[in-house]
Structures are given as C-alpha cells and as structure tokens.
Structure 1
Amino acid sequence: MPEGDTVYLVARRLEKALAGKTLLRGEFRVPQLATVDLAGREVLSVGTVGKHLFMRFSGDLTLHSHLMMDGMWDVNVRGGRWHLPAHYARVILTAADVQVIGFRVHDLKLVATAKEHDLVAHLGPDLLDPEWTDEHAERAVANLTADPARELGLALLDQRVLAGVGNLYKCEIAFLLGVTPWTPVSEVDAAQAVALARKLLTTNIRAGTFAQSTTGHVNRTRKNWVYERTRFGCFRCGGKVQVRQQGHDVQRRPTWFCPKDQTGPYPPQ
C-alpha cells in the first residue's frame, strides 16, 4: 500500500494538472456513482490526509479516494493513450488539455467539502500536515504509547495512531531506532519514533520524487537501510537482512530487519 508521501505527491501532480480548470467530462464507472456527471465543475484543489486523497470542486463538492494496494491516478494529455486497460478505469476527468484517469481507485465517495473531515476523523495526526505543531507531535506520541505492549511495527502501521506510515517506513524507522519491529512500544523512545516518521516523509516530498529514500541515495540498491534488501544486505553493516511476516490476516506484511544492527525480538523462520 502506498505511503503517505506517495499519496501526497500524487495529489500535487493532480492539482498541477487540474486546478483552475473546468471539467468537460466527469464520469464514474462504479455503481454507486454511475449517474453522477461532474462536467461543468471547476477543480479547485487536491489535498491529502494521511493516505486519503481529496479532490475539491466548485459547488461545495469533494471526491474522496484511496489507492489501497493497486490504485493509481494517471495524468495524460487529452486524447493520449491510457497506460492501463479501460476496464480498470473507475474515474475519468477531462479538461480542455488534460485527462486524468483513476484506475482501480478505492473508497470513492462524493461529499460536501465541509464534511470531508468526517471521513478521516478516526485518523491519528497526519505526518504531512502543513500546519504540524508540537501539539500534533504530543498527540501522536500519546497514541503510540497508549498500548505499551504492542509491537512497534503494528503501532506504526495503525493509521489511528498516526497517519501516513506504510510498510516501507515502518521497517526503516525501526532500523533507525536500532530495534526490531516486534519490539514493544514501551522499549522505544516514542517521541523519537514520531519525529523520525515525520522527517522521512517530509524529506521525500521535498525531494519531489517517488524514490522514497531513507539513506539520502536514490539508486535502487542504496536508497533504503533494510527494506527489500535481502539480496543486497544491510546498507550500514553489509550483514544479511532477514525478512519475517508481521501482523495477521489483511494486516500481515513482510518485514525486513538486520539482526546485527537491531536489537529485540523477532519470529523464528
């Protein structure tokens, strides 16, 4: 599932393509919105809260979407070739010079712009909130430490704790803290964990690319410390990176770690 910084950059790209333009076509290919036509509405802005994306139109209307595991928004010149087959398209937005297609996007809802918050009220503080304050950080720390026995990795992925961290950053935050993702939250500096999470996400949106580097490098074999590095080894010590599953059912995720550089428990193979 895309991390918060990826969704943020997608929103920035959509806003650049559509903001200030009036739609000539606004078609939905999902049953609950099939009769809705957005033609004639102006696109005002596009923003995010955590991994949730909001596209705002004139007339106090907002389109909510979520990428989940397989969704994407594609931006083309009008009349350009689509990058995925048409049967994957769920939203088609066309302006004079551009066409935006939402392929396999999820949780599509049209709501009054003033009611956007109702869809994300359950989330913890948004790590990419442009108005982030010490109060946001304190709330995130309080959420993270609410269940001291909970595994760090599971707590970081819980969007009700703090919004924006996905599996990549979960693994990398644990590495930078020097503990395994199965370490209880009680054994971690929660304030440092929150600060690291925000720093990693904000650094990547400032870079303006989808590289998601946590090391400062963008080369595929050098951009992360342990995430997906079973072939290459730990970027710090060169030792073997191991991978185990963390979580259950739909929350189950492959989790990478370096047993040399990270202390704490982890499941046997």
Structure 2
Amino acid sequence: MPEGDTVYQAAARIRRRFEGQVLRYSQFRVPRYALVDLTGRRVDAVRSIGKHLLIDVGDHAIHSHLKMEGAWMVHPLGTRWRRPGHQARIVLRTDGWEAVGFELGVCEWIPDPDTELSYLGPDLLDPAFDAAAAVTNLTRDPDRPIGTALLDQHLMAGVGNVYRCEACFLRGVRPARPVGEVDVPAMVDLCQRLLVANKDRTVRTTTGNTRRGQQSWVYGRGGRPCLRCRTPIERTFLGDDNSEDRVLYYCPRCQS
C-alpha cells in the first residue's frame, strides 16, 4: 500500500534520472492537461511531501498522488512497460530515460505547488520534521480516535493504513482509543522511526523480518495468531467508511 515511504522511493527513482535534465517528450493522458507540452523544459527538482510527489518544472509542478493502485516506473528509453498502456496517466522522457505514472489517483499540472499543499501537516520524512507541531496538531481534538487522527494528513503527513495499524500495535493502543488517552509524543516518534527505517528498503517491514508473512505485526493478518501472544488478530473498521483501504487490524490482547 503506498504510504510516505513508497512515495519517497518513487521520488528518489525519478530524481536520479530526471532532476536537472531537459525533457525531450511529455504526454499527459488526462483530458484537462492534454494540451500541456513540457518538451524542452528542464526538471528543476523531484520531491515528496507525505504521500504527494512533485516534479518541479519552472514555476509549475507535476503533482501526483498514488492513492491505492498508482505507481511511478522509471526505465531506459525503449524498455517495455510493465503495466498496460491504458493505465498510464503521464509519460516523461529525456534522451535516455522514461518515467511513466500508472493509475495515479491524482495527476495534475499546478502553479505554486507549495501553496497548493500548504494544508499538509509536518512530513515525517522531511529532514526538518517538526515533531512538536505534529503533536500539537494531533492533540487538538482529544476525543478523536487515534486511529483516525493518524490518517489525517492535515495533522501529520505520511502515515497510511499499514503504519497506522502497526504503530498502534507497537504502542499497545487500540485504534479506537481517544487521542487524549494516548502518549502522542511517543506515537509520533515511533511513526517517524518506522518510516525512516523503511524509506530505503525494497521490502517494508515493521517487525525487522523481511520474510513473506512475517513483515508486519498485525496488518493483513486478520484471523491469524498474533506474533507475540498467539491471540487471533481482529479485522474490523473504524467509523462509517468501511472501505478496504481503511480496514483495521489489531490484537485484542496486546492492545487495550
């Protein structure tokens, strides 16, 4: 599932081949931007902010969000695509490399991107991450369940459902517990450490084990025994949005 670390890695792949390079071809496969042509323009920077990826070109930026299914792929020019062409939302090429954004939930060409995304909370993978600001944001509503607060990108940017479930498990907290009953500074610190630990990994793990089925403590393990106490992991939802990207996993014994 794409979260802050996934987007950070995607930005790093594009940056390695495109930053400072002149685009020899561009194509938005989004009707609103079908006439935008960036050919001949230089890529100034490629960066991630939480779950958002920005490719800066002059005073505008290509802004993308992977949502659930999206991916950026970078490969030598002429290489066969690894996804069907109808899933491509944008194609960028230099003299020797191609970057393709597939099934992007958001793909747009925007002016002043930092203003556009100013609503986001502190980015957990920003070297200048402001933990105190994140704590202040999260504790503003003490009655809100910690499980919904952690997903609110206005408060802190980068945590998705996997890290939400895993952080709550590691802190021994049920996702439905009110923020006011949670050690929020410790939770913020843990979330940052988890994302930093995984930002350069090819296989995400919160357990330290990269073997299949052993990478996470509770996420995706509904009905299976807890890796700590062997109690079956519960699979449920929090709130009214019973969508698959918001399903919760927790251990009823290890988390209270």
Q: Secondary structure at the match of 2:174?
A: coil
Closer, same or farther in 2 for the Cα pair 1:109/1:29, shift >3 Å?
same
| Structure 1 residue 17: Cα displacement | 2.2
Paired with 1:213 and 1:84, the residues of 2 have a C-alpha distance of 26
Q: Which amino acid aligns with 1:260?
A: R
Tell me if structure 2 keeps the 8 A contact 1:244–1:254: yes
1:178 aligns with 2:169: no
TM-score by length of 2: 0.94
Paired with 2:99 and 2:202, the residues of 1 have a C-alpha distance of 19
Matched ranges for 1:147-162 at <5 A: 147-162=141-156
Q: Which amino acid aligns with 1:110?
A: W
| Structure 1 residue 218: Cα displacement | 1.1
Paired with 2:204 and 2:138, the residues of 1 have a C-alpha distance of 23
Q: Secondary structure at the match of 1:5?
A: helix
Map of 2:116 onto structure 1: 119
Map of 1:233 onto structure 2: 225
1:111-167 C-alpha deviation (Å, 9 max, x unpaired): 34xx221121111111111122xxx21111111111111111001011111110000
TM-score by length of 1: 0.90
Closer, same or farther in 2 for the Cα pair 1:231/1:13, shift >3 Å?
farther
1:137 aligns with 2:136: no
Tell me if structure 2 keeps the 8 A contact 1:247–1:253: no
Q: Which amino acid aligns with 1:180?
A: R
Map of 1:128 onto structure 2: 125
Gaps of 5+ in 1: 264-269
1:89 aligns with 2:93: no
Paired with 2:239 and 2:203, the residues of 1 have a C-alpha distance of 26
Paired with 2:63 and 2:242, the residues of 1 have a C-alpha distance of 22
Tell me if structure 2 keeps the 8 A contact 1:127–1:163: yes
1:203 aligns with 2:200: no
| Structure 1 residue 238: Cα displacement | 2.4
Tell me if structure 1 keeps the 8 A contact 2:223–2:234: no
Paired with 2:222 and 2:100, the residues of 1 have a C-alpha distance of 35
Paired with 2:29 and 2:217, the residues of 1 have a C-alpha distance of 41
Q: Secondary structure at the match of 2:163?
A: helix
Gaps of 5+ in 2: none
Matched ranges for 1:1-269 at <5 A: 2-57=2-57, 59-112=58-111, 115-132=112-129, 136-205=130-199, 208-230=200-222, 232-249=224-241, 253-263=246-256
Tell me if structure 1 keeps the 8 A contact 2:145–2:176: yes
Paired with 1:84 and 1:106, the residues of 2 have a C-alpha distance of 16
- Structure 1, 233-242 or 145-154: larger mean CA deviation: 233-242
Paired with 1:41 and 1:209, the residues of 2 have a C-alpha distance of 32
Q: Which amino acid aligns with 1:222?
A: Q
User: How many corresponding residue pairs?
Assistant: 255
Q: CA RMSD in A?
A: 1.6
